[in-house]
Amino acid sequence: MATPRVVLLTKANCHLCGEARDAVARVTAALGLEWVEESVDNQPELRERYAEEIPVVLVDGVQRDFWKIDETRLARVLQRAMAQ
């Protein structure tokens, strides 16, 4: 069973980031997975790439969701990644 790498990209003063953090935490906890949060504030390349989409969820380096995180979709993506 594969262990997908889950990354939540956030930035300071982001009103959606708290909700996204809670959603990612719920989904990953239910699946027994770890996740990390990275701020784009000090990463110019990421800040430019995802400027208007923060918060963003990446699974194994692929953008899977942004703004409001769909927990059902994220769970489905992670379950597929784990099955590989």
User: Could you tell me the two tokens for 81?
Assistant: 């990644």
pLDDT bucket at 1, cuts 50 / 70 / 90: confident
In a domain, 12, yes or no: yes
Question: For the whole model, what pTM was predicted?
Answer: 0.95
Please tell me the total count of domains within the chain.
1
- Please provide the DSSP assignment of 15-68 as one string: TTHHHHHHHHHHHHHHHT---EEEESTT-HHHHHHTTTT-SEEEETTEEEEESS
- The Cα-based distances of 59 to 1, 13, 21 in angstroms read 15, 24, 14
Check which CATH number belongs to the domain holding 13 and give it: 3.40.30.10
Q: Look up the domain containing 30 and give its range.
A: 6-83
Is residue 76's pLDDT more than 90? yes
In a domain, 11, yes or no: yes
In a domain, 1, yes or no: no
